[in-house]
A and B are shown apart, each in its own frame.
Chain A
């Protein structure tokens, strides 16, 4: 069993740095889906 809490995991330096890029990519994908649905 992983003994690290979720809080520890999101405190990781890697998450703090790369998570921002991943979150941005998800927002762009959501925008593209909305745009595609609006113009269908």
Chain B
């Protein structure tokens, strides 16, 4: 316990120090929302990687592989493929006009404040789902590290996150993300060899894992259609989720983006592969767990030396925090910039908008906590809550974003119909649809169909809105 407290105490102290130093570097809205738009590829790629690597990775992936076997690991490939498409297809046109938020892009491309407001509301709804998953995982870790109840852990975790995000904005998030990525990488790089050594070598690890459970190395762990459509959700969500694409605006040019995204691909995928390897160890060592989500915290506690175990638990906490802080920034900007400043009070001063943003971030962080405490997501594996968020984002935004960048005829009516139709279809499918197909498939198809049909039924968008994305001129330099 004492070693864990020291490691966590140091970690939290560093996070607060970064939040405080970032406050001093934040002069305007650009600084607060996109870190001034001047990030290089190391910080840009690191913040993207840290944002991606969440409790879904450290708790969720290992939990599902522990339950259904390695076939789920193949979904990992949707991560590099999604980022590849983001860098090669989305980024070159998306960054031609630099905005502060994804709804900001929607407004500019579709020449519609209403479309921007719809996008902002969707982000707020989906962020609530995602933050819940991270808070659930936070409670599990705090329970194991500090011996406090999961409920107390969830409250503690939320308060710490809100403190540094509200104070420091995106600059704080970028630098804490970097610190958190270093901790995650160190934690998993040390934990994997120790886990393998504990099982007398890598070959034994594979042999034992296969022998303990016949599903471990088979395609039969879950229905193939479900596996495929879950991969589709991660792929489409990987291309166009708001907390990731806004990082393209934070990087200074396309050359930086290409390198930064490569850095993200390598770090994230290797990290997930390493986590998945620990999952195999957990199948051997702890075949019967009340929930797969406990696998990683129990490995950290039971078989690793205290310092390494504490480091790994700090890594899990880092993964959660680096994702939620980014979600809070995105949700705060949706409230402050996309709803308050754009729709309610266009004349609001910079100071007033930052106050709204900070209050908004506090509210957006508190609502999922209250929902989690009231038992909304009881019994769900963390990874499946993460997957639902990804499916909602992909169903709402993939078509309006990619369609808006490559089909000049796409207009605001089509975009609004696509966002609302995609979201509601995915939510309805999740609640009422048959199991065995992830909601992203119907959500994505309905969104695409609505974008196409409704756009053709209404007038074409003004050339002044589409020209910046379809002409050769750039506002973000190539190199």
**Complex: A4 Cα to B351 Cα, angstroms:** 70
- Produce 1/0 per residue, B190-208, CB < 8 A to A: 0000000000000000100
**A16 and B258 in contact (CB under 8 A), knowing A11-B219, A24-B77?**
no
Main secondary structure of the interface of B (DSSP, over half): helix
Known: A11-B218, A13-B210, A35-B262. A24 touches B255 (CB 8 A): no
Q: How many residues of B contact A (CB 8 A)?
A: 26
Contact A16 B76 (CB under 8 A): no
How long is the Cα–Cα vector from A35 to B92 in the complex, in angstroms? 13
A3 sits at the interface (CB 8 A): no
Pairwise interchain contact A17-B206, C-beta atoms closer than 8 A: yes
Q: How far is the CA of A24 from the CA of B74 in the complex (A)?
A: 10
Question: 1/0 per position for B236-280, CB-CB distance to A under 8 A?
Answer: 000000000000000000010011001001100100010000000
Q: Render B51-86 as a binary contact track against A, CB cut-off 8 A, 1 for contact.
A: 000000000000000000011011011001100100
A13 to B269, CA, bound (A): 21
Rounded to whole Å, the gap between the CB of B391 and the closest CB of chain A is 22
Chain A interface residue count, Cβ-Cβ cutoff 8 angstroms: 17
Which of A13, A16, A28, A38 has a CB less than 8 Å from the CB of B265? A28
Interface contact B217-A39, CB-CB below 8 Å? no
A23 CB–B CB distance under 8 Å: yes
Which B69-125 residues sit within 8 Å CB-CB of chain A? Answer: 70-71, 73-74, 76-77, 80-81, 84, 87-88
Contact at B76–A30, with CB atoms within 8 Å? no
Tell me which residues across on chain B come within 8 A of A13, comparing CB atoms. Answer: 206, 210, 216-218
A28:B74 contact, CB within 8 angstroms: no
Q: How far is the CA of A39 from the CA of B265 in the complex (A)?
A: 19
Listed in ascending order, the chain A residues whose CB lies under 8 Å from chain B are 11, 13, 16-17, 20-21, 23-24, 27-28, 30-32, 34-35, 38-39
Query: Considering the complex of A and B, which 5 residue pairs feature the smallest CB-CB distances, nearest first?
Result: A13-B217, A27-B80, A16-B217, A35-B258, A31-B84
